């Protein structure tokens, strides 16, 4: 008895039609019929009641189907377990909802753990986090949204917030913080790429554009040229400011405005915790990430 036979048998039972099952399995109908017949011979019983164009499992078939589903499920579980096991700690496959935490954390981790390779990519959206983790598409996902599933572990990863970058000669440079909603008429620029955090900032940026001359750029190279204008006010973030240099003689100022903070969460399937242990230990002890506390969550 082979796993392939059990898969063919289950597919026929699910489809209720030999030709439909053959099309789904991408094999010929005679090959499928032979495999099912061979399984019946091994079990020494018929598994289907056959009519003209319809085939349905009989009592023996229903009993066999429970075993087939259990065996196929265990084989898939074994495959995923050993796929993780043989990798050991040599490769981590991560996904991020935003470029900021990815561009900061991955190089820092690689420097601290050169023996571990990291594959990192950006997610187009955060709607399918649960399936991506449970199907082991990624070892972990760093996102703003918390996945809802009992088999997924979620931990605080990093705090993000919008910051203001001003020339040292600007009057605001001496302030401890600024509330843009209480000011008006300043010229400033911000680069808005992709990601969940930028989408969260949209209401704030719209309000700011009503009070200030705010230019929003989606071309980073054009935005970089603006940074050479030393009198230009720019918006950055706590994480981005740690790897993007906006020029000398500038002061980074916290903002008091609402809706500008976010908490990045690290989520992973329980079965993958062993593989993630180097990343988890590193993240816990890395000040650059500074996982958020309760006071940060209240700002979001």
DSSP 54-117: -EEE-HHHHHHHHHHHHHHHHHHHHHHHHHHHHHTTSEEEEEESSHHHHHHHHHHHHHH-TTSE
User: pLDDT of 144-195, one tens digit each?
Assistant: 999 999 999 999 999 999 999 999 999 999 999 999 999 999 999 999 888 9
Across residues 246-260, what is the average pLDDT? 91
Domain with CATH 3.40.190.10 in the chain: 88-157+265-286, 159-254
Domain with CATH 1.10.10.10 in the chain: 3-86
Question: pLDDT grade, residue 75 (50/70/90)?
Answer: confident
The correct answer on CATH 3.40.30.10 for the domain covering 159-254 is no
Confirm whether pTM is higher than 0.75: no
Rounded Cα gap, residues 98 and 108, in angstroms: 17
The correct answer on CATH 3.40.50.720 for the domain covering 3-86 is no
Asked if the model's pLDDT at residue 83 lies above 80, the reply is: no
Higher pLDDT, 245 or 191: 191
pLDDT value, residue 87: 53
User: pLDDT of 40-68, one tens digit each?
Assistant: 899 898 988 887 667 888 999 899 889 98
User: pLDDT of 267-289, one tens digit each?
Assistant: 999 988 888 889 999 998 898 88
User: pLDDT of 104-129, one tens digit each?
Assistant: 999 999 999 998 889 999 998 888 99
Q: Which fold has domain 88-157+265-286?
A: D-Maltodextrin-Binding Protein; domain 2 (3.40.190)
- Give the CB-side neighbour count of residue 136, counting CA atoms within 13 A: 17
Higher pLDDT, 2 or 182: 182
pLDDT value, residue 85: 57
pLDDT value, residue 295: 40
């Amino acid at each position: 008895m082979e796993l392939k036979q059990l898969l063919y048998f289950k597919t026929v039972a699910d489809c209720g039609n030999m030709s439909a099952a053959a099309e789904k399995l991408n094999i010929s109908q005679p090959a499928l019929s032979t495999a099912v017949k061979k399984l019946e011979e091994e079990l020494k019983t018929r598994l289907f009641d056959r009519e003209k164009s319809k085939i349905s499992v009989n009592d023996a078939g229903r009993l066999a189907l429970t075993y087939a589903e259990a065996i196929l499920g265990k084989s898939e579980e074994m495959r995923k377990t050993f796929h993780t096991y043989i990798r050991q700690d040599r490769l981590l496959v991560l996904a991020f909802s935003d470029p900021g935490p990815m561009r900061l954390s991955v190089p820092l981790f690689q420097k601290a753990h050169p023996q571990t390779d990291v594959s990192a990519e950006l997610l187009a959206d955060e709607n399918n986090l649960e399936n991506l983790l449970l199907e082991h598409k990624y070892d972990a996902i760093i996102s703003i949204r918390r996945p809802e599933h009992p088999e997924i572990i979620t931990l605080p990863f990093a705090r993000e917030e919008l910051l203001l970058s001003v020339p040292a000669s600007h009057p605001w440079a001496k302030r401890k913080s600024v509330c843009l909603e209480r000011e008006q008429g300043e010229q400033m620029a911000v680069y808005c790429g992709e990601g969940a955090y930028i989408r969260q900032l949209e209401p704030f940026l719209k309000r700011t554009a009503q009070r200030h001359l705010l230019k929003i750029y989606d071309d980073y190279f054009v935005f970089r040229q603006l940074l050479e204008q030393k009198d230009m006010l720019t918006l950055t973030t706590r994480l981005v400011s740690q790897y993007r240099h906006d020029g000398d003689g500038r002061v980074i100022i916290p903002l008091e405005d609402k809706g500008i903070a976010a908490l990045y969460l690290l989520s992973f399937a329980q079965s993958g915790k062993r593989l993630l242990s180097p990343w988890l230990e590193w993240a816990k002890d890395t000040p650059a990430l500074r996982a958020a506390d309760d006071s940060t969550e209240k700002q979001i």
